[in-house]
Chains A and B, each alone.
Chain A
């Protein structure tokens, strides 16, 4: 009975969710590597697409994904103006390692720290890597939870669709 009630209320609520418009980025506070606080609702890329990628220094597939994209990032930016925002969910244990790691990898991403998972929870991320694609109006139009070599090509196809080039 308890489970049934839970499921019913869940179904009721999800059906409401399915009827809604594309969603905007939620409001949560993240930090830059310089310690400045940023409200995630203000993240934008001047009307061009933006990739939001959740990762951690202890997550092997996450690092593979960001390294794979790093090799193509300059070309992606040139062709579509896309920006990648890498949100690290490293907590107090490893957040101090993020800046030297990011520089050591020679990445050019915009990196934020989400040490207590505020943005992770607000976007309902279960585990990393988890990638969201945001269009020029700030709406989340696509997401993917996992990384397999080649997934970056799928992601880029979606970016090209957004800028009207296929």
Chain B
């Protein structure tokens, strides 16, 4: 049956392409573009690092997108293949087989745009609604339905949409049971009023309402079948200042994630920045309370069927150790967090800038649990109300803190150096769901260097060290990357896990080394990369959603292509 469905999709796609052909020939319009990407791995046994060994030995994720556009008409399709998927992929509901993962048609007429089929969209920064994809994580909550965007007047934007969300993949995308509907209004004053005030400053206000429907299938509880969320936002900008705030309120929504309590949810974020050439500073705060909002109240995982997006307020690191060992993930059930950041550039010719200039970046973020008081266990009705709390009031349980300072400087015509210090507190019990494990306290030092031998040839290296007495103990990483612009690169990385913890040493754990070599070739929009060696278990995060990647040993290949 699945197979028939798939063939029908492909047939439709081929027929559609055929139908476009005469159009293509008749006028100057009409173009077809797309991309392709694959990540494949051949797995080798390696019991020392506890490497995964899937029965199929060879696994590959592959995607290809095609977009056809002709004047105001657009159609797109994405084929996906997981035969089988890479070990540990995706984060939530399993993906298997080959088929259509996404398809849509869209047309625009003057100020009206209509999309049918799959689409991604967000209201404001997404606290009430966001459908998006992060392919490398296996997160995709694309809507399948229709959307209308209309601009009735300069600076006024209306959106309405409804549909179901993508859930998993079984020879084609599968959908969750719930229906999602939403509407959004945005008023952009600079576009609305063409005044001299708005030439330098702008005020944007927006509001949205989202609702989900799911039948009440419980024999014990009376569940709300329609759960609404409203949100409001305000954005002020001027050349130097920027202020953004968004608030969302959700009515009671008993679900798997909150233990089926009848408490409403709230979320708020505030962010202010000030910047001029050579200097930038920002200050932000978030608080979330009971804000999981999924289109299936019994969703088995926190990764699937999310209607909203609650951004974590921490820096997304680029170096391997801080990025993949202890990254933070938002706690939608209750969190109070803050972040401050500063960028400064000492220009060339100044005392600290020297001949080439010096750059400084300082970032601090912290997240706490929300302070809550459980309601009486005596009677079930009260207990079902969950707890009392106030937004932005933290408890004394710190989930996370990260202080990092980076200094970057070109020291000569051919050398550039960067030094980073990072101090971390990480509640692994909550963030990675490992109950009973001790909180991790760590310090990291990272040195990065770049040397240009010629215009085209350069060597980049990184030395990273994490010292901690908890979890897996110390890590050291060394990386060297030789690049031959614009086509080739060769890289080698070794990670070394050795313990600085007497308990672990007493258990006789030997230091472990993870060597990995890579070769890459790039030509225009095509990129090929081959890796061979050990890859340690890690957490791979994009935009605050994290996927655990198991340890593996083997040969892997990645290809990306855009045409």
Interface on A for B, CB 8 Å cutoff?
1-3, 5-6, 9-10, 12-14, 16-18, 20-21, 23-24, 26-27, 33-37, 57-60, 64, 91-97, 99-106, 115-118, 121-127, 130, 142-146, 148-151, 153-154
Contact = CB atoms under 8 A, between A and B. Distances in A.
Contacts of A21: 28, 31
A65 B351 CA distance: 26
Contacts of B520: 146
Interface stretch (B294-302, B337-345, B373-381, B504-512): B337-345
Given A121-B65, A143-B562, 14 more contacts: A14-B32, A16-B32, A20-B31, A26-B67, A33-B242, A96-B282, A97-B282, A100-B275, A101-B280, A104-B280, A142-B524, A145-B525, A149-B483, A151-B486
A144 B527 CA distance: 9
Contacts of A37: 157, 188, 191
B64 interface: yes
Nearest to B521: A146
A10 B273 contact: no
Contacts of A142: 524
Contacts of B455: 150, 153
B277 interface: yes
A149 B345 contact: no
A2 B345 contact: no
A101 B190 contact: no
A143 B21 CA distance: 26
Interface in B1-27: 3, 6-7, 10, 13-14, 17, 21, 24
Interface stretch (B51-59, B122-130, B220-228, B464-472): B122-130
A34 B64 contact: no
Interface of B: 3, 6-7, 10, 13-14, 17, 21, 24, 28, 30-35, 37, 64-67, 69, 79, 81, 83, 97-99, 108, 120-122, 125-126, 130, 132-133, 157, 171, 188, 190-191, 202, 204, 235, 237, 242, 244, 271, 273-282, 284, 309, 311-313, 316-319, 341-345, 347, 359, 361, 450, 452, 454-458, 460, 483-486, 489, 520, 522, 524-527, 543-544, 560-563
A40 B322 CA distance: 36
Contacts of B562: 123-126, 130, 143, 145
B486 A150 contact: yes
A14 B35 CA distance: 10
A96 B363 CA distance: 14
A124 B278 contact: no
Contact of B31 (A17, A59, A103): A17
B32 A93 contact: no
A35 B32 contact: no
Contact of A17 (B237, B311, B563): B563
A106 B344 CA distance: 9
A26 B98 contact: no
A100 B278 contact: no
B275 A104 contact: yes
A114 B28 CA distance: 29
A126 B318 contact: no
A16 B17 contact: yes
Instruction: Select the residue from B69, B486, B563 with max chain A CB neighbours within 10 A.
Output: B486
Contact of B485 (A94, A117, A122, A153): A153
B306 to A, nearest CB: 13
Please give me the 10 A-B residue pairs with the lowest Cβ-Cβ distance, nearest first: A104-B343, A100-B280, A150-B485, A104-B280, A103-B275, A124-B35, A148-B483, A58-B316, A92-B125, A17-B32
Contacts of A5: 6-7, 10
Given A93-B544, A96-B284, A149-B452, A104 B345 contact: yes
A148 B458 contact: yes
Contact of A93 (B14, B244, B311): B311
Contacts of B67: 26, 121-122, 124
Contact of B21 (A16, A121, A130): A16
Contact of A154 (B157, B458, B485, B561): B485
B485 to A, nearest CB: 3
Contacts of A103: 275-280, 343
